[in-house]
Structure 1
Amino acid sequence: MILKGNRLAGLLFLLVLFLAFPSIGKAAPELVRQFEGGQEYRLSNGLKVVLFPDESKPVATVNITYLVGSRHEGYGERGMAHMLEHMMFKGSSLHPDIPAELAKHGGQANGTTWYDRTNYYEVLPEGEEHLAWALSLEADRMVHSTLRGEELAKEMTVVRNEWEAGENRPLRVLRQRIFSTAYLWHNYGQDTIGARSDLENVSIERLKKFYHHYYQPDNAVLVITGNFKPERALMLVDASFSAIEAPPRTIEETYTLEPAQDGERQVVLRRVGDVPALGMVYHIPAAAHPDNAALCVLAQILDDQPSGRLYKELVQTGLVATLGASATRLHDPGLFEIYMTGGKTPTLLREKTQAALNDLAKTAPTQVEVERAKKTLTNELTVLMRSPEKFGIQLSESIGSGDWRLFFLYRDQVGAVTPEDVKRVAGLYLVTDNRTSGEFQPVVQAAKVKIPTLGDLTPQLERLKEGATMKAGETLDPAAEKLQERVQTQTMLPERKVAVLQKATKDDMVSVSLKLHLGDENSLYGQGKKNVALAKLLMRGTQKHSEEEISDLLARWQAELKIQGGKDYVVVDLQVPRENIGSAMALVGEILRQPKLDKKEWGLLKEQWLSQLESRRNDPQTLAFQALGKRSATKDPRAVGYVMSIEEEMAALKELTAQQLAEFHQRFYGASVMEVGAVGAVTPVEIKTLLAGAFGEWASQVKPKAVLEEYRPIAPEKVSITTPDKENAVLIGGQAWRLKRSSPDYPALLLANEILGGGFLNSRLALRVRQQEGLSYSVGSQVQAGSLTDNGSFLFYAICAPQNAGRLEQVVQEELVRIATEGVTAAEVAEAKVGLLKSLRLHRSQDPALAKIMLDQLYTGRSFLDTAEQEKRLQEISAEEVSAVLQRYLKPEQLVIIRAGDWKRQ
């Protein structure tokens, strides 16, 4: 037999795996348990393996979780777990260039660090060769990761840059201060990002010791979810991991417990600018304790919009702009958190918040409140389980908390919560003497609350009963030409177009994207942000249903609904099970056609919006991108497409009234010009019937005509913006290009951008700026092309410490000049083609994204055949063609370059 192409490469790859990790003499993986469609195995070296096969998408996810996080760090090691996470992408014995290999497999990857765990994951197209590669990677870097002193020196500045970026966000810093005040001894008081001094001074020897101690098979849990064959996957796991010997050392369980708090603690954070904020936290039990689930329900009862008790008390009355409540779910006792922004009377806000908690401790909430909260929480879990990639990654949190089955235990515990449970936990934990409060800008009291410790989980886990199995979906080939065979396009009225891709989906979910066009360039002149504001207000109630009723209906139907307004359109995104799509579409029609546009609700929304704008007045990223946008948009402040400054937007918003929004709705809203894309368990006839019922012949007073964004050249310029007291700076650059998506140059420019600033840490900018120079945590570039006009652009972006801005600009310019003058290599183009094509296919495998693509095709008059032709063209392009196109378009000397930061820090 003669083997060709990928089959031969795949078998050779498996042979390499076998030779590298021989399992002769090793015991076969032991089946430990089966539960909820998943299987848990244990290898002889102690590695736990959890498999959750799901053929509903052509995607597989490999996620390995190490039971080490900031909770395990010692003195001088603050941030070591997170630093090691970064270093694990520097390569290993068999995989010296991880970003390049990932690009070849067309996947997505990342690593995250939290208090109790560190995880690494790869989301890849289905296929045994991709799965084998990911398992080989994780097995090799488990024990053979390349850890060098010179790489640590470079990555230290990158991690420090990430630390500095966090310092730009007062609410994050406030949370750090509150946690460090609430915890006197436990490591949960130390933020995962670490201490700056430890990051700057930790030695490579100490990092290696930390790595060899914790990164071992007996301290890891491997989870595989998505489209794979369990038997083959287990063989690959065995081939990759079984030869790794269990180390002779023993990992000591952490034993530090926070003593009962003996009085209220307060912290005040004073920094330049931004919106006032207030936070309050209370010590609570660990994730697996039943009281934790009751506290999660309590948090939902407090902050739910629009029915939450605190939301009504504080947001709807205008005392604060935003509000959030949550209960941490950690391995050890955690915190119940409440945060609010925009309030200028912290003492009053503390009193009102505590009064609401005391009321719950005296009188149990209603059954309706509890059931509504439970429904929301269980819906969130259901949504996660419908997405194999998200579910696989989410299991890291349960693993870190004690066991992967805690995900299902939490589901059952939430389902069992009663009003009396909520009352009891409110009275037991949410008391003043167990509180730590913090203010961004000025405070309060204390009594000891004993937090129960957690014993053996086995009795609780053994009582678990399996829930109902979700209906499986089909595997859809995301190749463009295959998708075109499945798409059915129809026209209802002359300018109502519908595209449907019928397929079996997990739980019979249907994804719908709908776009209404509004007005034209002349009629929208001088309308400003009215459409954006109106779209934000639509979900706050109709003539028939209040905001609370709409929220309850969507929760009952397990539906997700988002409405967003643009310069001349409104887009609706809906995900809902097939059995509820009729009710959901009728509600969409009601929201769009019969909004209440209540004056009081508009006042609340306006205050929240103004508060958000106020918080961004000194944000470097906001100001830099705003400055670039102004230079590429019309200069007429009344014209469609004008880019407002934050001050202009706030001034316009303050003058805008509910009556003006109602008049805008009456004049411009209608469904005479509309596109609809639908993917899932629904037919074109059903969609057309639903649309006819929802919209009838509803038309606007002004006939819509698309406002096209024409090409505008941008004069080269260097701009510097000062943002006081900001640890992180932003550098961006841009250039206007005459470029349309249908242009024959577009595929070559996509490849060029993939090489320059796309991909995962393997682009030229990432390799030079982040990997070699250690200047930035985030750096990249992008190319945009007009859909109907030749209004295209190029953009690069990076963040850095203010003192590194000059060097960063120099390095970026050097790379831009190099690629523009020297061009690209054949090897770079070959790698870019593989990575780009696979990432495009991966994007098309997501149903909501697919619905949006179809929506765009209806608007532009294109189809998946055009996509297939463009991808065919992309495969044929040579390095010489890419270099020639780059030389014509990219002019580094003609860029607009904008810097924003606190330049006193230089």
Structure 2
Amino acid sequence: MKNLLLGTAVLFFTGTINPAFSQSTEAPKFISNTEGVKEYSLKNGMKLLLIPDASQSNMVVNIVYNVGSKDEGYGEKGMAHLLEHMLFKSTKNLGDIKKQLSDKGGQANGTTWYDRTNYYEIFPSTDENLKWSLQMEADRMLNATILQTDLDKEFSVVRNEFEIGENNPTRVMMQNVFSNGYTWHNYGNSTIGSKEDIERVKAPTLRKFYEKYYQPDNATLIIAGKFDEKSALKYVTDYFSGLAKPIRQLGGTYTVEPAQNGEKYFEIKRNNDQQIIAAGYHTSAFADKDYAALSALYEILTSDPSGYLYKNLVETQKVSSIWTFSPVVRDPGMVYFNFDVPKDKNLDETTKLVRTELDKVSTIKFTADDLKRGKAKLVKDIENEKNNTINFAINLTEIVGAGNYKLSFLYRDNVENLKLEDINRVAQKYFKNNNRTIGVFRPSPNEERVSPAEFRDNQIADLVKDYKGKAIEKELAAFEASIANVKKNLTEGKLSNGMKYGLINKELKGDKVQGTFRFRIGNEKDLEGKDAVASITASLLKSGTKTRTKEQIQDDLDQMKSSVSAYVYGQNLIISLNTYKQYYPKVMAIVQDILTNATFPENELTKTVTETNTWLEGQIKDPDAIANNELQRLASPYPKTSIFYVASLQEQIDENKKVTKAQVVDFYQNIMGASDGVGTLIGSIDVKSASSELEKTFGKFTAKSKFVEVKPTFFDTKKQDKNIITPDKENAVALGTSSFKMTQDNPDYPALVMANEILGSGGFLSARLPMRLREKDGISYGVGSYLSVPVTNDVASWNYYAYLNPTKRDAVEAAVKEEVSKALASGFTQEELDSNKKSYANERMTNLGSDNVLITLVNTKLLFGVPLERFDEQNSKIQNLKLTEVNAALKKYISENKVISVFAGDFNKK
């Protein structure tokens, strides 16, 4: 391997490739344009996909390597994931990757899965950002340092990540279904790996793995969003085409999972109140046509409210909820069914009922309506993903890992071409009890064993070689990410009932339309003791109206590829919608219907309470949930009569059980309304049409209860440390808060924001707290701090969090306090300030590229009168800050003597 590496390119980023270490450069060769995805190839074997979208203000560079946990050998479990962590350390030519990512701002991440590993960066669309991203990815493809000193620190960080998952009963159950279901294939292994393998691997061994798989012929580079294609091709030529194609042959994996010989059964016994039943069936590879039919079948079986399993198990309250997961994988995979069971149900009896219902699947004669519903849901999801270019480019990671990016379009076509016989066929083929992991071995003669079709590379190549795809969609109009441009394209108005609205004219992919509405409701007297009622009422809005059943509402939304959601917090009713221009009037009609004609069926109320309480029961012994709840109760000791009272988890369960239909109807009829509210839509819809539909929907939606804002009480926190023991939990959590008075228009606000950026929030894991606890000491997987400063009241706080191994509790506490104390005593440096100013500015620019951020900015303007210009003003104030101002703000508002800390975990572990 070392001799092989000498033949590859070593990059020196001066704008050219050193010819002594490279082959001659040659521009990427154009292959095809499939529905706007432009494919190129390089002589060294690297694939390139360009997905331009001028309507974006951001771009993403995403590089996918065809290596994941599937490729790990004996003693290597977790090596692919560990290597992903190490590639954020440093390279020979660029040095500290993480620091440079922090300085650049934007968003960056790396992920590892069964068949692939990827790294991506989302930045504002500039030539400088594009060039740097490609330079950096080319450098760490071959020149990562992988030092033993860095590896020694990262061991405990990855172990802590492993332990976080071990606290989650659902994740533990899913992993055990896969590990029990597979006998030989590596899909049965956790991607995060074995703790023992992770902690024992040495840098030279990890480097061999790196040198084998991190090569141009094993990579697909994706560039998407707004960028100059000529520049992109030039930079790819400059930085990647000169990398030599290695002489080694990867060969791929060749393990084929044998057909299962009988049903498998296992139990997990751990300290937790949450009851779960799970089942797994061996199914097809993503390239198989069966995958589309199976995906539709899962929707037909489990969707709320029409699914067969849903009706027979959730409707009848045998289980509280059901969901499925089927990973996109290269080889034959597995589908996972999860059934959450209320604590008051007998688990053995419920397991028998679940098994009985699963046994029926292969015998059901599905209908044309079933097929229509299943297809509509899948098509909606496919269209919504495709019409978000940045997410689409990142999600292509899974498809590339499964064999080829064009499989994404083939899957879409397979879904659209589904026939009823396809659904019945896959149900009969795969849903056999001898292909299931849930029970015990039982002798059974004349078994018809299931063996999903295997797809070799040449078969996939034959599938996609002549594929052309659908017609390429029109190019969208560019939309500059700036406050000035938002103002230029913003129309404001007011409805007859006083509700204010904003319309942002921005052409979205697929003619999408998004909207969020925020209505302020109630007063202190009318809302007293109604927190549970409010939450459940919002959850039940789509459960049926005088004109539509719950099933009809969901079917209509799925057919229109649309979604509507609602929730209540405090004095706010939030309604969000996601639809398309052609369906906007019909979706608004559904919103109007649920806001004026909801019927709240008794059985839906019972199901909602059961589902909510089942989830809460699972939180009662979770360290994170316990610590967060207790910290809020300590920092905000409101009386029970206050609408701000923080109920304990058990109190929440008890209050939910008391909710009656009469209370729900009363809240709906008297407290909900749109008079004191705002809403913003974004899309290319006609202003007159949009305004007319808003008037129809919300113009007469008024509340009988008068809205009077209830101001929170300021509680001056005092230093306190509290331990909560959670036995048999692999991971622990530390949370802290300190109160102070401030609003966002306070002159000190920008300086405090920057102080917090440097201390624990800014950059890509480069702030002081993450640098100390994760990078230097390696004692926490996730650590940081954040501010909570409101717009209209002055009850503010500074907060910190850290996830840790229970044995590291004292070390984490000492490190957090030491870093805070050091910052207060000595302040920050000019270098830190300059670096965080730059990353903050880039992050804010990236945020303006998000449609949800634009909606939030306009809603804040409409509701509180905060001018849009304040966004730019804050940026300007941040950039003009002096170091003395930042240090002074930290000392003025943050005090070690006012921090309440809560630690939750199994601290009796040695």
Does the CA contact (< 8 Å) of 2:262 and 2:442 recur in 1? no
How far apart in 2 are the matches of 1:684 and 1:744?
38
* Cα shift readout 1:64-92 (whole Å, capped 9, x = no counterpart): 11111111101111000000000000011
Pairing 1:798–2:797 present:
no
Match of 1:151 in 2: 150
Match of 2:126 in 1: 127
Does the CA contact (< 8 Å) of 2:52 and 2:224 recur in 1? yes
CA 1:518–1:680 in 2, change beyond 3 Å: closer, same or farther? same
How far apart in 1 are the matches of 2:496 and 2:707?
14
Give the alignment of 1:681-692 within 5 angstroms.
Answer: 681-692=684-695
Give the alignment of 1:650-729 within 5 angstroms.
Answer: 650-729=653-732
Does the CA contact (< 8 Å) of 2:78 and 2:198 recur in 1? yes
How far apart in 1 are the matches of 2:13 and 2:191?
40
* Cα shift readout 1:779-798 (whole Å, capped 9, x = no counterpart): 11001112101111100000
Question: How far apart are residue 421 of structure 1 and its match?
Answer: 1.2
Match of 2:3 in 1: none
How far apart in 2 are the matches of 1:529 and 1:360?
37
Pairing 1:205–2:208 present:
no
With structure 2 as the length reference, what TM-score do the two structures score? Answer: 0.95
Match of 2:793 in 1: 789
Q: Find the residue that maps to 2:90 and give its secondary structure.
A: coil
Match of 2:849 in 1: 845
Amino acid corresponding to residue 795 of structure 2 in structure 1 = N
Pairing 1:261–2:264 present:
no
Pairing 1:301–2:300 present:
yes
Match of 2:57 in 1: 58
Match of 1:7 in 2: none
Pairing 1:381–2:382 present:
yes
How far apart in 2 are the matches of 1:871 and 1:123?
20
Match of 1:746 in 2: 749
Percent identity reads 34
Match of 1:566 in 2: 569
Question: How far apart are residue 358 of structure 1 and its match?
Answer: 4.7
CA 1:414–1:367 in 2, change beyond 3 Å: closer, same or farther? same
Q: Find the residue that maps to 2:810 and give its secondary structure.
A: helix
Match of 1:431 in 2: 432
* Cα shift readout 1:279-325 (whole Å, capped 9, x = no counterpart): 11111221101112211111111111111111111111101111112
Give the alignment of 1:186-201 within 5 angstroms.
Answer: 186-201=185-200
* Cα shift readout 1:735-777 (whole Å, capped 9, x = no counterpart): 0011101111111111111111112111111111100100111
* Farther-moved stretch of structure 1 (776-785 vs 340-349): 340-349
* Cα shift readout 1:566-621 (whole Å, capped 9, x = no counterpart): 11121111121112111111211111122111111000000001100000000111
* Cα shift readout 1:150-175 (whole Å, capped 9, x = no counterpart): 11010000000001111101221122
Does the CA contact (< 8 Å) of 2:68 and 2:117 recur in 1? yes
How far apart in 1 are the matches of 2:530 and 2:428?
52
Give the alignment of 1:233-248 within 5 angstroms.
Answer: 233-248=232-247
Give the alignment of 1:427-576 within 5 angstroms.
Answer: 427-437=428-438, 447=447, 448-455=449-456, 456-462=459-465, 464-493=467-496, 495-576=498-579
Amino acid corresponding to residue 108 of structure 1 in structure 2 = Q
Number of residue pairs matched by the alignment: 891
Match of 2:171 in 1: 172
CA 1:248–1:821 in 2, change beyond 3 Å: closer, same or farther? same
Does the CA contact (< 8 Å) of 2:519 and 2:676 recur in 1? yes
How far apart in 1 are the matches of 2:148 and 2:771?
18
Match of 1:421 in 2: 422
How far apart in 2 are the matches of 1:836 and 1:632?
29
Which structure 1 residue ranges, 5 or more long, are not aligned? 1-12
Match of 1:878 in 2: 882
Q: Find the residue that maps to 2:524 and give its secondary structure.
A: coil
Question: How far apart are residue 451 of structure 1 and its match?
Answer: 2.4
Question: How far apart are residue 622 of structure 1 and its match?
Answer: 0.6
Does the CA contact (< 8 Å) of 2:51 and 2:225 recur in 1? yes
Does the CA contact (< 8 Å) of 1:786 and 1:792 recur in 2? yes
Question: How far apart are residue 107 of structure 1 and its match?
Answer: 1.3
Q: Find the residue that maps to 1:529 and give its secondary structure.
A: helix
* Cα shift readout 1:433-477 (whole Å, capped 9, x = no counterpart): 111116xxx997764322221141133224534224444433322
Does the CA contact (< 8 Å) of 1:472 and 1:505 recur in 2? no
Give the alignment of 1:283-294 within 5 angstroms.
Answer: 283-294=282-293
Match of 2:7 in 1: none
Match of 1:604 in 2: 607
Of 879, 888, 892, which aligns to 2:896?
Answer: 892
How far apart in 2 are the matches of 1:24 and 1:244?
6
Taking only aligned residues, the RMSD between alpha carbons, in angstroms, comes to 1.9
Match of 2:217 in 1: 218
Does the CA contact (< 8 Å) of 2:54 and 2:479 recur in 1? no
Match of 1:635 in 2: 638
Does the CA contact (< 8 Å) of 2:497 and 2:700 recur in 1? no
How far apart in 1 are the matches of 2:840 and 2:670?
44
CA 1:333–1:697 in 2, change beyond 3 Å: closer, same or farther? closer
Match of 1:368 in 2: 369
Pairing 1:142–2:145 present:
no
Question: How far apart are residue 100 of structure 1 and its match?
Answer: 2.5
* Farther-moved stretch of structure 1 (264-273 vs 498-507): 498-507
Of 765, 769, 776, which aligns to 2:773?
Answer: 769
Pairing 1:736–2:752 present:
no
CA 1:20–1:749 in 2, change beyond 3 Å: closer, same or farther? farther
* Cα shift readout 1:44-73 (whole Å, capped 9, x = no counterpart): 111111111111211111111111111110
Does the CA contact (< 8 Å) of 1:360 and 1:422 recur in 2? no
How far apart in 1 are the matches of 2:18 and 2:831?
27
Match of 2:6 in 1: none
Does the CA contact (< 8 Å) of 1:500 and 1:683 recur in 2? no
Match of 1:854 in 2: 858
* Farther-moved stretch of structure 1 (49-58 vs 74-83): 49-58
Match of 1:17 in 2: 15
How far apart in 1 are the matches of 2:478 and 2:183?
52
Does the CA contact (< 8 Å) of 1:265 and 1:445 recur in 2? no
How far apart in 1 are the matches of 2:527 and 2:507?
42
Match of 1:390 in 2: 391
Amino acid corresponding to residue 423 of structure 1 in structure 2 = N
* Cα shift readout 1:808-833 (whole Å, capped 9, x = no counterpart): 11001111011112111222112211
How far apart in 1 are the matches of 2:387 and 2:749?
35
Which structure 2 residue ranges, 5 or more long, are not aligned? 1-10
Match of 1:10 in 2: none
Does the CA contact (< 8 Å) of 1:264 and 1:433 recur in 2? yes
Does the CA contact (< 8 Å) of 1:634 and 1:641 recur in 2? no
CA 1:621–1:445 in 2, change beyond 3 Å: closer, same or farther? farther
Of 615, 621, 624, which aligns to 1:621?
Answer: 624
Q: Find the residue that maps to 2:555 and give its secondary structure.
A: helix
How far apart in 2 are the matches of 1:342 and 1:228?
50
Q: Find the residue that maps to 1:17 and give its secondary structure.
A: coil
Does the CA contact (< 8 Å) of 1:261 and 1:434 recur in 2? yes
How far apart in 2 are the matches of 1:363 and 1:619?
39
* Farther-moved stretch of structure 1 (317-326 vs 118-127): 317-326
CA 1:14–1:230 in 2, change beyond 3 Å: closer, same or farther? farther
Does the CA contact (< 8 Å) of 1:729 and 1:902 recur in 2? yes
Question: How far apart are residue 359 of structure 1 and its match?
Answer: 4.2
Does the CA contact (< 8 Å) of 1:471 and 1:508 recur in 2? no
Does the CA contact (< 8 Å) of 2:497 and 2:702 recur in 1? no
Pairing 1:823–2:827 present:
yes
Match of 1:229 in 2: 228
Amino acid corresponding to residue 431 of structure 1 in structure 2 = K
* Cα shift readout 1:818-862 (whole Å, capped 9, x = no counterpart): 111211122211221121122122222221331122112211111
